Amino acid sequence: MKRSATSMSQYHDVVKAPMTLTLTIDGKEIAAEPGSTLLEVAQANGIEIPTICFHEATTANALCRICVVEVEGMRLLQPACIVQATKDMKVQTRTERVDRARRTILEMLSSTMDLSDAPEILAMMDEYGANRERFPDAERREIPLKDDNPMYIRDYSKCLLCWRCVQVCAEDAQYTYAINFEGRGYETQIGTFFDRSIPETTCVLCGQCVGVCPTGALKPKREFLLEQGMSPQEISVLNTGRKRRKERPD
């Protein structure tokens, strides 16, 4: 059947019109596009939800659970970084239960790994009143630092297994697949195939893994050496075998 010009344009208007739904977050009625996550909707409306494993450049995987929120009618707390907003959903982002869950996650992290290079997580610990000594008998992840390439060091005692580095090394950015999870359970860590050194892998030293690491487990070699007390001159000699030329005055 042939459509009239008017009915065709009405048809296109319907197809193109952005569909919205409404939900309530912390008592505030909010319009959202279907398919948006609770985290996206909250962020777009100035409601803060903490994140650790989530990074806007990587596929959300809901590994850390720091972003959990309470959703009316749902028994379990829901990770806001992957759960989509639905019509008439009622969400609470700072109930006592939510805060307790976040606090416990932070306390478990701090009792098992070195967070000294993770200022954002340390700030969260203060905000949620996390007790750093809550699990004194927890076994700490103490893994020797890996310094096997000219670009970055790997200090997996500071790794919380957020998976961001693996994701940017794979389909989220570089398609290089130099690193992945290895081991099971408590022994899980990030590694290379057969524990090869970085130069023996497919790594192209793009540095994207370093850029997304939230804890300083991956760090530029230069930054690491400066922290160790080496001067820029000494680092230059180490890298090139040559001294840096003196800066010329303008």
Chain residues that interact with ligand FES, rule: CB under 6 A: 51-54, 62-67, 79, 81
In the complex, least distance from residue 239 CB atom to ligand FES, rounded to whole angstroms = 36
115 binding ligand SF4? (CB under 6 A) = no
How many angstroms separate the CA atoms of 228 and 153, rounded? 13
Length reported for the chain:
250
27: its two tokens: 């008592």
159 binds, among ligand FES, ligand SF4, none (CB under 5 to 8 A by kind): ligand SF4
Q: Quote the tokens at residue 109.
A: 């992290």
Q: Give the one entry of ligand FES, ligand SF4, none that residue 225 binds, where binding means its C-beta sits below a cut-off of 5 to 8 angstroms depending on kind.
A: none
Of residues 112 and 176, the one with the C-beta less far from ligand FES: 112
- Of all helices (H) and strands (E), which one includes residue 161? none
62 binds, among ligand SF4, ligand FES, none (CB under 5 to 8 A by kind): ligand FES
Binder of residue 152, out of ligand FES, ligand SF4, none (CB less than 5 to 8 A by kind): none
| Binding residue for ligand SF4, selected from 160, 170, 178, 203, defined by CB under 6 A | 160
Q: 243 φ, ψ to 5°?
A: -75, 150
Q: To which H or E segment does residue 125 belong?
A: helix 119-127
Among 30, 153, 198, 213, binds ligand SF4 (CB under 6 A): 213
Residue 151 beta carbon to ligand SF4: minimum distance, rounded to whole angstroms: 14
3-state secondary structure of 133: coil
Residue 223's CB is within 10 A of a number of other CB atoms, namely 13
Q: Are 38 and 60 in contact (CB under 8 A)?
A: no
Does 161 bind ligand SF4 (CB under 6 A)? Our answer is: yes
Which of 103, 93, 118, 97 shows the shortest CA–CA distance to 39? 93
Number of residues that bind ligand SF4 (CB under 6 A): 14
- 203 near ligand SF4 (CB under 6 A): no
- Considering the complex, what minimum distance in angstroms separates the CB of residue 101 from ligand FES? 11
Q: Which two tokens stand for residue 231?
A: 């001067």
Report what 160 binds from ligand SF4, ligand FES, none; CB cut-off 5-8 Å by kind.
Answer: ligand SF4
Q: CA nearest 79: which of 88, 91, 165?
A: 91
User: Rounded to an integer, what distance in angstroms lies between the CA atom of residue 218 and that of residue 37?
Assistant: 29
Q: Does 153 bind ligand SF4 (CB under 6 A)?
A: no
31: β partners: 22
The smaller minimum CB distance to ligand SF4, of residues 25 and 153, is found at 153
83 binds ligand SF4 per the rule CB under 6 A: no
